[in-house]
Chains A and B, each alone.
Chain A
């Protein structure tokens, strides 16, 4: 019946350098989610190639993708996606658990990272004991904790009020200044404006790619 192959992205050619702070914009259905899934190594492209930090991701199998995600990508989701039964510390430790870091080392790294996002006092709180802004900070700490090549944020302020949203964006600005590579996927112009390069996607194609700062 409805088995018609839809290519969400076509002929997208894109290069993002280390240390860039990029916003990817586009209306829903434009293919920006697909692009994000590809960039985040959550999905493999049906055609074409993707190279991340010297790794040819497009040819990897499931387990290799998991390893790459663990090592190279830090995800920040619109709905935070913290594990509800685990406290902040445990949530931030999780990527290090999968990386095989020893308990004492990962505890120290997680505590340091939580402190760097301003949550040193909240490490033993569970997600439902934290405010939305605090939850997103935990998520940022989790994304940062094993020093990934890319911070990939999907509508990071979508579930926050404008004040806390601004706080998170200030945090991103800070991280960008420290040399982190950040990719923010958003449909909000105001959020995109805070990055340094805006890539607009429309109908599976790159409509524009401009440096703004």
Chain B
């Protein structure tokens, strides 16, 4: 008998065995269903988290350098303390950079602070206030939805205008048109000249969506006289990134008047540092999460093994008859393996039927969708679980001595 016929026979035998013990099969399948559902949802959640992070980070663009006092990522507490001791960046440095850099297409000094924002009776305190110049639109790759961005004139002269991130606009105005309206930032009045397009991104952190941008002179006058500036530098050609980083370092050292041989007292940050760290972190979280959910699958697998042992014991006589009639070891082994694998595969399919609407629900909290890859992995995992947990019982059945098996009552 060839393998194909054996598989087909095994399938029909296992199907009738599963139907003969409906309740038992259903309960056993339930264990696998729960296991696969949790693994699938966990996989989907991790994927969603990853993609939303990458999305929100890369919306800034890979061609921007961020010169800060400190590294975004501190390797140790010492790093952080050292960073704290460095002198702040000054606005003069922005001018210096603009004059001396040859490979930059735009430079925006950025200062940020949190302040209470008010429109009529509505109040919001989670909004990040950004003091910057017209170049912020370029370095951050922003798109204006209605109105316009701040002009160079406004940014140097310091007219009290502001541009709202999409979420900040919805929260304050709730459907009313914000253009031309006056809002209170801290104690001062600002006129809304534009609203940005929604960027989307990480749950709970809107990024630019939750920012309000005002001209830098307004910021230093009204919010913070001595802010800790960040210089955003957009590079003309991404492929020259490494050279650009070097040029920025040289210019910065000159502006900081650092003698040769001393370490930098500033940091040139890039978003890929951030991405690297995130992927590291996500890998760990994902690994732990999958391990924990994998445990429930493991428990399900043990359930299958248990039931298969019962099934083999119950059908000892049937195994004896089949052997007497000419079934080989391999045939019996395959029969029970297929039975275990079918139960698990059935569980996997049911699990996907449950996980699919569940991901749609999950999508309301974070971007997630059931990818074809995860579907494939889920089915594969359930199949492998079935084969692994079915192997031991099937092996026992296959090795039975027909004389003893026939004698069994």
Contacts and interface: CB of A to CB of B under 8 A. Distances in A.
B402 interface: yes
Contacts, number: 62
A184 B50 CA distance: 74
Given A77-B406, A83-B318, A85-B20, A95 B325 contact: yes
Contacts of A73: 324
A85 B402 CA distance: 20
Contacts of B406: 42, 77, 81
A55 interface: no
Contact of B327 (A43, A66, A77): A66
Contact of A100 (B1, B16, B320, B325): B1
A66 B326 contact: yes
Given A43-B403, A81-B406, A95 B326 contact: yes
Contacts of B1: 97-100
B2 A98 contact: no
A36 to B, nearest CB: 10
Given A66-B328, A67-B328, A142-B325, A97 B403 contact: no
A94 B323 CA distance: 11
A70 interface: yes
B16 A85 contact: yes
A40 B321 CA distance: 13
Interface in A123-179: 142
A94 B322 contact: yes
B197 interface: no
Contacts of B159: none
Given A95-B326, A98-B327, 4 more contacts: A69-B324, A81-B317, A85-B17, A98-B326
Interface of A: 37, 40, 42-43, 62-63, 66-67, 69-71, 73, 75, 77, 81, 83, 85-86, 94-95, 97-100, 142
Interface of B: 1-2, 5, 9, 16-17, 20, 317-318, 320-331, 401-403, 406
Q: Shortest 4 CB-CB distances between A and B: which pairs?
A: A70-B326, A100-B1, A98-B326, A66-B328
